Amino acid sequence: MPPIGIFDSGIGGLSVLSHIHELMPTEDLLYVADSGHLPYGSKTSEYVVQRAIAITRFLVEQQEAKAIVVACNTATAAAVSRLRSKFLIPIIGMEPGVKPGIKESRSGVVAILATEGTLGSEKFQALLDQYGNGAEVIVQPCNGWVEQVEHAEHDSPETRQIVADQVKPLLKRGADTLVLGCTHFPFLKEAIGIYAGEGIQVIDTGLAVAQELRRRLQSNNLLGMAKTGGNTHFWSSGSPEQTGRLISRLWGDPNQVNPLPV
């Protein structure tokens, strides 16, 4: 069976890759970190669309991926419909968990933490229009968070400060549910947990995306049949060495990170 392609602007999508690997351990996985072009969150949506098309073309045409997971909320908001019109394989995107966040909240105040690109997109507006009525929804662009993760500063004093500056005001306004609408943010869970302690729920959609991927593969007869563990291969458009160090820390030894040719 061909592999599954997964990409993000950097290593944030590893938070989704782990769920995919856990649910489908025998599948071969290809992971692209577009580290030479991050952050996506402050780029124009056309820029992100062009990167998403180039990466998907590489994964589908050169690596024969049978399905693509856009493990990035920002790239999904900008590009998923263009990708679906260009590539005829299952393309699974992700979006902030507005619906589960509202369902879980007891205070009725829900904060959505994401990039500016995601929060300013038409797709996110449509999500709010559809599900946002049941609660007070606060949107919080989390500037600097992606960079802290990419610099391997997951729990440094500076990171804690940045997280505190953006999370504390949300709690003051009564938010009891924080929706992580960017795949980099689960790697800041410890720092977030310092301020969002007991009684505050933190919602992340990585597992739901992995489950949706499995459903789509199943219904398209694309689930792998292998009995033994699958392999995971990595590419980076930034420094393969630096990406490799981050992957070792957040996922496990990548063996090798290849330079992305697009």
Quick check: 123 and 95 in contact, CB under 8 A?
Answer: yes
> Residue 257 pairs with which residues in a beta bridge?
234
Nearer to ligand DGL, 38 or 167 (CB): 38
- In angstroms, the CA 115 to CA 234 distance is 24
| Residue of 121, 190, 210 whose CA lies nearest to 149 | 190
Which amino acids are annotated catalytic? 72, 182
φ/ψ region of 30 (left if φ > 0, alpha if ψ in -120 to 50, else beta) reads beta
- In angstroms, the CA 72 to CA 93 distance is 8
Quick check: 191 and 180 in contact, CB under 8 A?
Answer: no
Residue 106, token pair as written in the block: 């007891």
* Min separation Cβ 205 and ligand DGL, Å: 10
Q: Which residues sit at the interface with ligand DGL, rule CB under 6 A?
A: 8-9, 12, 38-41, 72-74, 115, 118, 146, 182-184
> Residue 92 pairs with which residues in a beta bridge?
69
Quick check: 183 and 20 in contact, CB under 8 A?
Answer: no
Query: ∠157-183-181 over CA atoms, to 5°?
Result: 95
**Beta strands, E only, 102-155:** 109-114, 136-141
Q: Report CA torsion sign: 159, 165, 169, 170.
A: negative
